[in-house]
Amino acid sequence: MHFPVMLNEVIRCLDPKPGENFVDCTVGEGGHARAILDRNGPDGRVLGIDLDPEILHKISMSIKGTDYANRLLLVHGNFSNLKAIVEKYGFSRISGVLFDLGFSAWHIEQSGRGFSLWRNEPLDMRYDLHGSITAEAILNFWSLQDIERILRVYGEERFYRRIAREIVDSRPLKTTMDLVMAVERATPRWYHRQRIHFATRTFQALRIAVNNELENLEKALPQAFEVLCNGGRLVVISFHSLEDRIVKNFMKAKAKEGLLKMLTKKPLKPSMEEVKRNPRSRSAKLRAAAKLFK
């Protein structure tokens, strides 16, 4: 069962109306996109971008022959190239842009690419299998200092030095279990009994590094602002403090210039019912703003 995160809040902020066009920069399994299409018919469209061709194939199969297929344009691409993608496909009068950052449930449960610390899989962690470096390459070939840096900066991991040392000493690492065990050896016993699994921050750091996640977001937000029509809404769901900081700083700076109006004073969080139904939503934060007429 696929539960799009904070769906009601996304719809409330995007406020889709018949005939309006939207860009879903992280279309994934299409949960949010479908809900938008349920409201902007009969002729409003959604441009759905995703970096992962496999997930795009999955959604395109699932909407085949439905009204969704007529109004959802699926594009394989990186949202860091948002403006070029929008221009290439001649998509205009954009009333809202949505980002639901990170990986999807499908990545964790079915992709077999090592996103989950609970499954023994190859250490890949790429969204786009044509792209960039794998987690395995980082772990086995990067210098001790570079591994320390990503654990400290992207993982905000307090034991970054000890974990990086253990990774380098345990080479070659091939699977997620090799990595979980290295983190376990490097960290004290009490750390293994915390609410958050002791390898969570290490996995987060690698995923961010492999997919250039923070740089992509930094590049995409100004483009999202640019492609929006006046009054258009920008909605971003983030899942950790590094992403949220980028979103907050961007929106606040634009609001200060009088170019955006904040629709959320503080970030919205999922309801208790949602967290119960979908524990993965627990760290979500949603920020929304509207482009001001100039």
Ligand X SMILES: C[S@@+](CC[C@H](N)C(=O)[O-])C[C@H]1O[C@@H](n2cnc3c(N)ncnc32)[C@H](O)[C@@H]1O
Q: Does 48 bind ligand X (CB under 6 A)?
A: no
- CB-wise, 82 or 186, nearer to ligand X? 82
Nearest one of 185, 123, 134, 131 to 159, comparing CA atoms: 185
The interface with ligand X within residues 142-161 (CB under 6 A) comprises: none
One residue of 9, 52, 166, 243 binding ligand X per CB under 6 A: 52
The sheet carrying 285-291 orders its strands as 72-76, 46-50, 21-24, 94-100, 228-238, 285-291, 260-262
Q: Mutual orientation of helices 176-186 and 200-211 as an angle, nearest 10°? A: 130
- CB-wise, 134 or 216, nearer to ligand X? 216
Residue 130 DSSP SS3: coil
The interface with ligand X within residues 103-132 (CB under 6 A) comprises: 103-104, 127
Q: Does 32 bind ligand X (CB under 6 A)?
A: yes
Tokens for 76, please give them. 């394989």
Q: Does 274 bind ligand X (CB under 6 A)?
A: no
Q: How far is the CB of 235 from ligand X (least distance, A)?
A: 11
- C-alpha pair distances (Å), 189 with each of 151, 194, 272: 19, 10, 31
- CB-wise, 117 or 164, nearer to ligand X? 117
Q: How far is the CB of 37 from ligand X (least distance, A)?
A: 12
| Rounded Cα gap, residues 216 and 11, in angstroms | 24
| 241 contacts 156 by C-beta, under 8 angstroms | yes
One residue of 216, 223, 238, 278 binding ligand X per CB under 6 A: 216
One residue of 36, 46, 51, 210 binding ligand X per CB under 6 A: 51
Q: How far is the CB of 234 from ligand X (least distance, A)?
A: 15
- CB-wise, 176 or 223, nearer to ligand X? 223
* Total residues binding ligand X (CB under 6 A): 23
One residue of 16, 28, 44, 270 binding ligand X per CB under 6 A: 28
The interface with ligand X within residues 85-104 (CB under 6 A) comprises: 100, 102-104
Burial class (CB in 10 A: 0-12, 13-18, 19+), 257: exposed
Q: Are strands 46-50 and 72-76 parallel, antiparallel or unpaired?
A: parallel
- CB-wise, 58 or 174, nearer to ligand X? 58
Q: Does 16 bind ligand X (CB under 6 A)?
A: no
| 89 contacts 98 by C-beta, under 8 angstroms | no
| Rounded Cα gap, residues 247 and 268, in angstroms | 13
Residue numbers of the site for ligand X (CB under 6 A)?
A: 4, 25-26, 28-32, 49-52, 55, 78-80, 100, 102-104, 127, 211, 216
